[in-house]
Structure 1
Amino acid sequence: MIAELGNLTLVIALVLSILLAVYPLWGAQTDNQVLMSMARPLAFGLFIFTLIAYGVLTHAFVIDDFSLTYVAQNSNSKLPVYYKVTAVWGGHEGSFLLWVLIFAIWTVAVALFSKGIPEKMLARVLSVLGMVSISFYLFMLITSNPFDSMLPFYPVDGRDLNPLLQDFGMIIHPPMLYMGYVGFSVAFAFAIAALIGGQLDSTWARWSRPWTIAAWAFLTLGLALGSWWAYYELGWGGWWFWDPVENAAFMPWLAGTALMHSLAVTEKRKVFKSWTVLLAIAAFSLSLLGTFLVRSGVLVSVHSFASDPSRGLFILGLLVIVIGGSLLLYAVRASQLKSVGRYDLFSREMMLMGNNVLLCAATVVVLLGTLFPLIHKEIGLGSISIGAPFFNQMFTLLIVPFVFFLGVGPLTRWKRQKPKALRNQLVMAFFISLSAGLLVIFSYDHFSQLALLGMTMSFWILVATVFEVRQRVVSPLKEEPILQSLKKLTPSHWGMVLGHVGFAVCLIGITLVSNYEKEMDVRVKIGQTIQMADYDVKFIGVEAIQGPNYTADRGIFDIYKNGKLINHLEPEKRFYTVQQMPMTEAGIHTTLTRDLFIAMGEPLEGGDWAIQLYYKPFVVWIWGGAFIMSIGAAFSIADKRYRIKKIAQFKRAAKSEDASTFGTPQSASRESIL
């Protein structure tokens, strides 16, 4: 019964997606109000039936219905209930159902929160989303159906969920990552809808911008959570490995970052139209490429799903259709994408263009580094490996000019800027940044040129951001108090500030942990004390414990500093009995400035144990910076411009804002980027 109900709801959702793709677009092209008005109800229906399908599969996991092949392969009767619920996305079929559900959530969100958008534009946007969803439902029903049954013969117990996924981090990481991945489909839909309707002025960028920022924020959090999970769960103390599947998620983030900034310029200055449309297509296409890499079986990774080639061919075909069709439509409409604004070589537009070029270059580097080994092997030239040294070197070369533009951009004016007007501020910012970087580096036990470069760049962003805020609130023409001026800054502007500060915080964490971390692989006896940095780690012993579906050896360690006990850690070496798989659960003591990380190795003769000790300075700043960037995105979305209900008000707000950009003193004419 569960299998039949699940299949029925998916088929109904497929039918609704076909209707959503056809009727609203037909109505928009023929100016048929009745057909256009069907867009919202169809979007609601699509969401409801997809949600029912997801709920049915979740119920099957909770009641241990092992007659479903997917449930039998990814659950077990001894699995805790909360892991049964999250096991729904523990394998390929269920995770793709989650993907489709999130796509339906984005679709219904556009239908709900786009009341200020003209009916024709909204109909086209929802229709494009319907077109994309058709392929997703077909893919699931044909090659990846989570409701396939094992009747009449099925096991009395399941194979259990992959132990790597039996963790809190994997409860929240996939949904957050998918929200970002799928969210770029909305930016894509707005761009394609604008191309179809020929409405290629700045207003479509304003409509698309909050959705793009929201998707970027979710993807930022998803990447950070994935990094955090790998750090503490895999037992190796690393936060980024340049794994191909990590790269697959990183590429849409890079393209999405460029898209956000390009939308800002298109919205405010009516330039970069072609560039913005291409970035919208690229961001969603890279999301689909990541789906192909993860689900096709072409990659071997701890993050990937084992899948048969037919699934990969289906997604590859979808990728070709999306990219090919989008670029063809773009070519047809290219003549209408001419920019009307003008700007000098030294202006905010050029600063943003420079950063966008660098972000795209970084995306190409990651793309080539990820795909080249696959292509090299497929054409019969043998296996090669492109690892962290290549990516680290290339990103070091790209990030220096990127950070320079990031600091200078907000200080410059739209259209034109006299370099002399910024000379003193930039020189002062450089010397403050260099001095602060030297001060931090000299506090460590050795000098590192890369560390100095990273810290100087981080402080450059922070100092330039402070200067930008000061420039907006301190002016000879303003008589009001500074606090009052700060209150008048828009949420969009504070979003830019927090976004840049978050990036600087993240860069500080990356710089210090990459250059000053310490690692020890040691053999310890019970009662032995090991010194790590300024800490003494005492091995108390090991105790055997029994979990719900695993057994474990739990190490007991006391951490001392200057002879004073400061913490007690209990890392574990687990063995999952059904999967016959060992796992490491690290013990971590975290403060704002460092992590002490202990992972159990293997038992040795005489009761000794092999353990790994890590000292990780400022590693939590990496994830803290990502969180700050996401908060900044939330501020930007909260800007009142995106909550205007009537289109006439919307246009007046756009005109008044554009008018306020010019003809005012430099300190009073700043417009926020994010």
Structure 2
Amino acid sequence: MIAETGLALLWLAGALAMLQFASGVWALAGGDGQMREQPAAAVRPAAVMQGVLAALSFCALMILFIRTDLSVLLVASNSHSDKPLIFKLAGTWGNHEGSMLLWATVMGLAGALVALVERRLPERTIVATLAAQAFVSLGFYAFLLFSSNPFERLPTPPMDGAGLNPLLQDIGLAFHPPTLYFGYVGLSVAFSFAVGALVTREVGPAFARAMRPWVLGAWIFLTVGITAGSYWAYYELGWGGWWFWDPVENASLMPWLAATALLHSAGVLASRDALRTWTIMLGVVAFSMSMVGTFLVRSGILTSVHAFAVDPERGTFILVLLGIYIGGALTLFGLRATSIQEGKQFTLISREAGLVFNNVMLTAILAIVLLGTLYPLVTEAFDTRVSIGPPYFNPVGAIFALPMMAVMAVGPLLRWRGDRVGRVSKPLMLPAAATLATLIAALVLSPDIGILPLLGLALAAGLAIASVLPLAGRNLRRTPLPVWGMVVSHLGLAVAVAGMASESAFSVEKLVAAQVGDSVEVGPWDIELAAIDPVAGPNWTALQADMQARYRGAAPIALHPQSRTFTSPVQTTSESALATRWNGQLYAVVGEQGEDGRWQLRLWWKPFVPLIWLGGLLIAFGGALALVGRIASGWRRQASMRRIAERREVNPLVRSRPPSGTTAGTGA
């Protein structure tokens, strides 16, 4: 009965989404800017109940996986009774149908939260926003109910399940997909706000302030999700790389690029009432990229264009949804864009201009990634296989990423509206000196270094210094959290780029065939293969290498890479072993045994590679600081306005004015 209950709840959630959308449209069809009160009153309750029902439906699916109910097709295909509990839970969203239900659930809960807490915008705009959110949700409910039913029963349950892909049976992948989905759905709320503002023509600072926390929250989750996914691929797949421009990786990167541009544009609109059209456009583009990425991954099209021939129903459904949402939003934008006043102007030398420049750079990088991801799919449709990888993405992307980093160093030091180059030239002397010194040092210490790693290291050093300059002359204890967030995030980007450049420039790799007792040198490390022993886990067996690694003759460090064999389903995976120091990471993988009795070993010394993920976490932490500061500022603003309203009731001569400090923008 749990499966039937979950399906019934899903139908009810879809029906409430239809009620929410229809009520919103009916309420907004009053004419002359008026809104019908009766249908409008139904929108918020419908949004709340829709979110509750969707969450209950997803909970029902989780219970089915926890119990390993093999009478449900999805459970039988993606779970096994012998799996650890955490991976039974991960199986809930580690498949197509479950991930789509998770998407719909988080979207419903996000809409419910908007309905419960958002009071800053005119009710007409909120009704339009919730109607847009319901319209997006309807497509997902229809997709689940008519094309990808997660609660479908099997006429004859199997004796045991097929199990979850062993590569996904890792704690990192148990949390990585939900984190990304929270980011995607946060962008859906930003998209709905953009559509609502277009419908009601209420595009201004209040709209940006309402949308910005959702963009910031989505951006934080995307940052954490991409960072976690990169580290998972690095240590789990055993190939020693942290990013390969794989289409699945690109599918998560594209929404992050768009969200980064949207975040800064919304900040300018909220603080300085500028970039109105640009903010609306980015709101549409950001969610469009999240939809493109999610549907590309979940439709199977990235494996082969001909996946549509295997399941034409799903493929057609996906294409229709993409056309309706993206095409409809862009059409609405085209019809209403001319009626949006652009807002206040600014000069070429100003903080706004710097943000616009970097948004253009981010958009160009987004276009490069999108083209490189889709082009092989298009050519394969014509029976021509094309592989696009680092030789395309790295140099072409760097054309725009390197100038963007340079402007990031300057932008936060510029004043709003207009400034002079001479005023900021003196503070920038220190970052410029750090850039030049790093450039010279890298050339002297490593004459064969490539041009991209060289420029990356130099600009990372300059950006790291420049990122903390906005704190100069401030009372640090009274500095707003959004300013701290900007500083930490920019510093995190500098740290991550330094790690990327160091890993690319200085990594040492060695592939050897070794017998037990042999020693191998890789970089400053000496590694001895002491033993190979069989070990067993909860649902796998493995051959585990016992390695003793010494860094420049220091005390040995034990490494235990494994070659695992899973039983459900049958698959062999490589489990790498890592030894982390302050200046880098030793990476070891054990392969198969040859006919001569020697074992294949793959070893890397990767200087400063942990900086990549440390930088990613710093970026996300900076975003969290900014989010907390923004939410607290919003609460203070609302409390101040309530006090003003109360005083005006007592004394009608009291004039309303915004609370102090609410117009101080930061660019975080």
Give the structure-1-normalised TM-score. 0.92
CA distance in 2, matches of 1:441, 1:505: 20
CA distance in 1, matches of 2:308, 2:97: 9
Residue of structure 1 aligned with 2:420, choices 407, 418, 421: 418
Give the match for residue 601 of structure 1. 591
CA distance in 2, matches of 1:420, 1:98: 53
Give the match for residue 409 of structure 1. 411
Question: What secondary structure is seen at the aligned counterpart in 1 of 2:302?
Answer: coil
Contact in 1 for aligned 2:583/2:608 (Cα 8 Å):
yes
Contact in 2 for aligned 1:558/1:565 (Cα 8 Å):
no
Give the match for residue 560 of structure 2. 570
Deviation at 1:59, TM superposition (A): 1.4
CA distance in 2, matches of 1:150, 1:429: 64
Q: Deviations over 1:519-572 (max 9, x none)?
A: 111101101111111111110111112222222111111111243334111111
Give the match for residue 87 of structure 2. 83
Deviation at 1:320, TM superposition (A): 0.8
Tell me which amino acid in the other structure corresponds to 1:299: L
Give the match for residue 145 of structure 1. 149
Residue of structure 1 aligned with 2:43, choices 21, 39, 45: 39
CA distance in 2, matches of 1:562, 1:502: 30
Residue of structure 2 aligned with 1:645, choices 629, 638, 641: 638
CA distance in 2, matches of 1:439, 1:291: 43
How large is the Cα RMSD of the aligned pairs? 2.2
> For the structure 1 residues 116 and 533, does the alpha-carbon distance in structure 2 shift closer, same or farther, using more than 3 Å as the test?
same
Give the match for residue 51 of structure 1. 55
Tell me which amino acid in the other structure corresponds to 2:199: I
Query: 5+ residue gaps in structure 2?
Result: 645-655
Q: Does 1:589 align with 2:579?
A: yes
Tell me which amino acid in the other structure corresponds to 2:71: S
Alignment of 1:492-507 (within 5 A): 492-507=482-497
Q: Does 1:264 align with 2:267?
A: yes
Q: Deviations over 1:77-119 (max 9, x none)?
A: 1111221111111211111111112212222222233233433
Alignment of 1:524-603 (within 5 A): 524-603=514-593
Tell which deviates more after alignment, 614-623 or 645-654.
645-654
> For the structure 1 residues 562 and 324, does the alpha-carbon distance in structure 2 shift closer, same or farther, using more than 3 Å as the test?
closer
Tell me which amino acid in the other structure corresponds to 2:78: N
Query: 5+ residue gaps in structure 1?
Result: 474-484, 662-670
Tell which deviates more after alignment, 194-203 or 28-37.
28-37
Tell me which amino acid in the other structure corresponds to 1:252: P
Tell which deviates more after alignment, 135-144 or 392-401.
392-401
Question: What secondary structure is seen at the aligned counterpart in 2 of 1:355?
Answer: helix
Give the match for residue 622 of structure 1. 612
Question: What secondary structure is seen at the aligned counterpart in 1 of 2:348?
Answer: coil
Question: What secondary structure is seen at the aligned counterpart in 1 of 2:528?
Answer: strand
Contact in 1 for aligned 2:308/2:314 (Cα 8 Å):
no
Q: Deviations over 1:317-343 (max 9, x none)?
A: 111111221122212222321223121
> For the structure 1 residues 167 and 381, does the alpha-carbon distance in structure 2 shift closer, same or farther, using more than 3 Å as the test?
closer
Q: Deviations over 1:383-431 (max 9, x none)?
A: 2111111000112211121011111111111111112222233344212
Give the match for residue 396 of structure 2. 394
Tell me which amino acid in the other structure corresponds to 2:12: I
Contact in 2 for aligned 1:43/1:108 (Cα 8 Å):
yes
Give the match for residue 2 of structure 2. 2
Q: Does 1:465 align with 2:467?
A: yes
Contact in 1 for aligned 2:3/2:64 (Cα 8 Å):
no
CA distance in 2, matches of 1:578, 1:435: 55
Give the match for residue 653 of structure 2. none
Question: What secondary structure is seen at the aligned counterpart in 1 of 2:76?
Answer: helix
Tell me how many residue pairs correspond in the alignment: 648
Contact in 2 for aligned 1:180/1:219 (Cα 8 Å):
yes
Contact in 2 for aligned 1:223/1:249 (Cα 8 Å):
yes
Deviation at 1:457, TM superposition (A): 0.7
Residue of structure 2 aligned with 1:341, choices 341, 344, 359: 344
Alignment of 1:197-216 (within 5 A): 197-216=200-219
CA distance in 1, matches of 2:264, 2:358: 9
Deviation at 1:466, TM superposition (A): 2.5
Give the match for residue 672 of structure 1. 666
CA distance in 2, matches of 1:70, 1:328: 38
Give the match for residue 648 of structure 2. none
Tell which deviates more after alignment, 564-573 or 212-221.
564-573
Q: Does 1:239 align with 2:242?
A: yes
Question: What secondary structure is seen at the aligned counterpart in 2 of 1:235?
Answer: coil
Q: Does 1:636 align with 2:626?
A: yes
Percent identity of equivalent pairs: 37
CA distance in 2, matches of 1:305, 1:632: 42
Tell me which amino acid in the other structure corresponds to 1:459: A
> For the structure 1 residues 650 and 210, does the alpha-carbon distance in structure 2 shift closer, same or farther, using more than 3 Å as the test?
farther
Give the match for residue 102 of structure 2. 98
Tell me which amino acid in the other structure corresponds to 2:130: L
CA distance in 2, matches of 1:649, 1:329: 35
Deviation at 1:352, TM superposition (A): 0.9
Give the match for residue 480 of structure 1. none
Contact in 1 for aligned 2:575/2:589 (Cα 8 Å):
yes
CA distance in 2, matches of 1:314, 1:122: 29
CA distance in 1, matches of 2:17, 2:369: 34
Q: Deviations over 1:177-219 (max 9, x none)?
A: 1111121001111111111111112210111111101100100
Contact in 1 for aligned 2:439/2:454 (Cα 8 Å):
yes
Deviation at 1:605, TM superposition (A): 2.3
CA distance in 2, matches of 1:306, 1:230: 30
Give the match for residue 308 of structure 1. 311
CA distance in 1, matches of 2:622, 2:658: 22
Deviation at 1:636, TM superposition (A): 1.1
Deviation at 1:381, TM superposition (A): 6.1
Tell me which amino acid in the other structure corresponds to 1:557: M
Give the match for residue 490 of structure 1. 480
Give the structure-2-normalised TM-score. 0.93
Contact in 2 for aligned 1:24/1:37 (Cα 8 Å):
no
Residue of structure 2 aligned with 1:370, choices 366, 370, 373: 373
